[in-house]
């Protein structure tokens, strides 16, 4: 499981790897120079403050490092225990037969793999976006990581697969015992209301490379 210190250790090590301070890394990444300052890692109330996925994504873009390299910077002695191999396919393939079992877990041999920080869900999977239907939230070329084990609450972004094979990524706006209501990420597309009995599986999006 990821720890607060692990993530900030990776930020500091990437900065040092490229001959920069944490503030220099933030500046190169197009962020406020104080974004990664040590004084901002703990709030005045003593709560841990984590770097956002967006800021990490910008760091990786600016440095040219991969997510796997970022993960490798976290560990003290054995960084591999902080990562897991996550199966990945194209978003357009999700509705095809043979990629998911009855529980909505990835199955079969048609998947590639990516190294991702340990999130405590052995059934997590990644999808490569190759369409514009989710813009501006997710764009062509982005990768989203989906966790079937993650709790889902109102306002979460989710991927839903219906029993008819339709797949959609939207925001959960309401959930009852009978149906779920979904808000489109792209306003050119319609919101949806789906009966629970029509849903094959629903899982939360926990990370996105942007």
Considering the domain architecture, whether residues 70 and 87 belong to the same structural domain is answered as no
Last residue of a domain, one of 54, 77, 100: 77
Considering the domain architecture, whether residues 67 and 51 belong to the same structural domain is answered as yes
- Count how many domains the chain has: 2
Considering the domain architecture, whether residues 35 and 92 belong to the same structural domain is answered as no
Considering the domain architecture, whether residues 63 and 97 belong to the same structural domain is answered as no
Q: Per the confidence metrics, is the pTM higher than 0.85?
A: no
Considering the domain architecture, whether residues 201 and 129 belong to the same structural domain is answered as yes
Considering the domain architecture, whether residues 17 and 59 belong to the same structural domain is answered as yes
Considering the domain architecture, whether residues 134 and 150 belong to the same structural domain is answered as yes
Domain with residue 72: its CATH number is 1.10.260.40
CA atoms within 13 A on the CB side of 186: 12
> Residue 52 sits in which domain range?
4-77
H or E element in which residue 27 lies = helix 22-28
User: Which of left, alpha, beta for 206 (phi over 0: left; psi -120 to 50: alpha)?
Assistant: alpha
pLDDT band at 1 (very low <50, low <70, confident <90, very high): low
Average pLDDT over residues 170-174: 97
Burial bucket for residue 15 (CB in 10 Å: 0-12, 13-18, 19+): buried
State pLDDT tens for residues 37-78: 988 899 888 899 999 989 999 999 999 988 888 887 886 654
Question: Do the beta carbons of residue 31 and residue 40 sit within 8 Å?
Answer: no
Considering the domain architecture, whether residues 14 and 38 belong to the same structural domain is answered as yes
Gap between the Cα atoms of 189 and 187, Å rounded:
5
Considering the domain architecture, whether residues 121 and 201 belong to the same structural domain is answered as yes
The confidence score (pLDDT) of residue 78 equals 47
Considering the domain architecture, whether residues 130 and 173 belong to the same structural domain is answered as yes
CA dihedral over 167, 162, 127, 147, signed as positive or negative = positive
State pLDDT tens for residues 110-131: 898 876 777 778 899 999 998 8
- 91: closest CA among 128, 126, 64, 37? 128
């Amino acid at each position: 499981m990821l720890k607060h210190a692990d993530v900030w250790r990776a930020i500091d090590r990437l900065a040092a790897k490229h001959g920069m301070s944490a503030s220099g890394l933030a500046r190169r990444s197009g962020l406020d120079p104080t974004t990664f300052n040590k004084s901002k890692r703990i709030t005045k109330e003593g709560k841990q403050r984590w770097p956002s996925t967006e800021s990490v994504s910008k760091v990786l873009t600016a440095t040219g490092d991969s997510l796997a390299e970022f993960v490798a910077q976290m560990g003290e002695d054995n960084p591999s225990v902080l990562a897991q191999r996550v199966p990945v396919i194209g978003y357009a393939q999700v509705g095809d037969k043979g990629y998911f079992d009855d529980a909505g877990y990835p199955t079969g041999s048609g998947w590639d793999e990516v190294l991702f920080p340990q999130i405590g869900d052995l059934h997590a999977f990644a999808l490569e976006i190759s369409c514009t239907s989710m813009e501006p939230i997710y764009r062509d070329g982005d990768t989203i990581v989906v966790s079937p084990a993650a709790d889902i609450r109102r306002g979460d972004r989710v991927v839903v697969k219906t029993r008819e094979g339709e797949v959609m990524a939207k925001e959960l706006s309401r959930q009852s015992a009978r149906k779920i209501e979904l808000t489109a990420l792209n306003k050119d597309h319609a919101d949806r209301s789906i009966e629970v009995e029509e849903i094959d599986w629903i899982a939360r999006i926990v990370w996105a490379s942007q």
